[in-house]
Homo-oligomer: A and B are copies of this chain.
Amino acid sequence: MSNYHPLTEQEAITLAQTHVPLLQQATSLTCREIGDGNLNLVFHIQDTDTSNSVIVKQALPYAKVVGESWPLTLDRARIESEALRIQGELCPELVPAVYQYLPELAVTMMEDLSDHVIMRSGLIAGNQYPYFAAHISEFLARTLFFTSDLGINQQEKKIQQGSFINPELCKITEDLIFDDPYTDSPNNQYNPAIQDVVDELRSDEELHLQVAKLRHQFLTHSQALLHGDLHTGSVFVTKQSTKVIDPEFAFYGPMGFDIGAVIANLLLNYAGQLGWMEEDQKRQAFQQYLLHTIQEIWTQFESKFRQLWKEHGVDRISAQPSFQDAYLTALLQDTLGFAGCKMVRRIVGLAHVADIDTIKQPELKEQAERLAIRIGTTLIKEHDRFHHIEQLMDKVQQLHAESL
């Protein structure tokens, strides 16, 4: 890493021109740094003549969160580019194309997605994405199946697992998702108005048992290569297109953690709509759209996953229908448990979501927070009791009704 240094805009332009064929003939390139500066530099480089553009992303050797700064491995750039490459082979339409990875500079050059918006912002604005369930279920089914022992040579999988050992970024998840929210940690941030809920999170022993089990799964269940941070801020969308970005948390872990992340973030938006859509009918319709999307994501995921298993399963033993049924039931339960953990941390831990945090009216924000925590803790405590995705729809509606 001796040549590593944070790039200037001019250096980013030179690298892009050198390594990206699309820009090699360009005579007039502009560059804007558009990252939030917390973890990475993100340069948007454009040819003003042709409008061709590219993203140059560079990992920084530290993380800045709420003013704090701590060192963070540059190896995550390798992990991100390698994960994007694998996902790109499995779902070329659903991730940005990678043009080049430069290990010494921790730089990845990739497709510019400026014509897309961050899904979280789109949902907050009340936009619907009719293809999202189809796209994300395809992404989940293919990336999880084909990196698991079900769909890849089981010896190759072990070697691949070895190249995705990602201790530092896993540590962030282990602490922020599976520990801090349940204790008095200095990392936590929350609305003082919900102190009663926070106290309950810290004292509920049945909740702690289930969090401990889910945490143990996260630590030990090397089921598939995960994206590792699949919230709606890691998804770029248009009405027609879905692109999953930023897999720097990628590692071999439990499949349900990725599926649960998607569901949790849709449910957080569901709760957040209490503060965004004033008109009851409109809000209810949008919440129904969100629930329907969740149901479709699981249903389509399950159907695609079973189809892949049928067509591409690599071993005899796992081909038994009874095993596949048991596998998918366990996966649904994991998914809902992890979804619950992901919801709770976004309300009381470090790093909240705009869906709820930027609600202006304090009483609506509090109401949304309480509903999110209520759904989250219920999923954590009861995840083992779910056998069909429809039960989730019913449960969310019941909890919502009770909270009114």
- A interface residues (Cβ-Cβ under 8 A, vs B): 149, 154-156, 158-159, 161-162, 165-168, 170-171, 174, 178-179, 182-183, 205, 208-209, 211-213, 215-216, 219-223, 315-318, 320, 322-323, 326-327
With A162-B162, A212-B323, A322-B209 known as contacts, the answer to whether A219 contacts B170 (CB < 8 A) is no
Tell me, in angstroms, the Cα distance from A393 to B216 when the chains sit together.
Answer: 30
7 contacts between A and B (CB under 8 A): A154-B170, A154-B174, A158-B170, A178-B317, A212-B323, A213-B326, A216-B318
Residue with the greatest number of chain B CB neighbours at <10 A, chosen from A161, A216, A318: A216
Tell me, in angstroms, the Cα distance from A209 to B154 when the chains sit together.
Answer: 19
With A149-B216, A212-B323, A320-B212 known as contacts, the answer to whether A165 contacts B170 (CB < 8 A) is no
5 more A-B contacts (CB under 8 A) besides A154-B167, A158-B170, A212-B323?
Answer: A154-B170, A155-B168, A162-B165, A212-B320, A221-B221
**A212 near B318 (CB under 8 angstroms)?**
yes
Tell me, in angstroms, the Cα distance from A167 to B161 when the chains sit together.
Answer: 11
Tell me, in angstroms, the Cα distance from A39 to B143 when the chains sit together.
Answer: 38
What copy number does this chain have within its complex?
2
Residues of B contacting A154 in the complex (Cβ-Cβ under 8 angstroms)? 167, 170-171, 174, 219
**B182 near A317 (CB under 8 angstroms)?**
yes
Shortest C-beta distance, A276 to chain B (Å), equals 34
Tell me, in angstroms, the Cα distance from A179 to B162 when the chains sit together.
Answer: 25
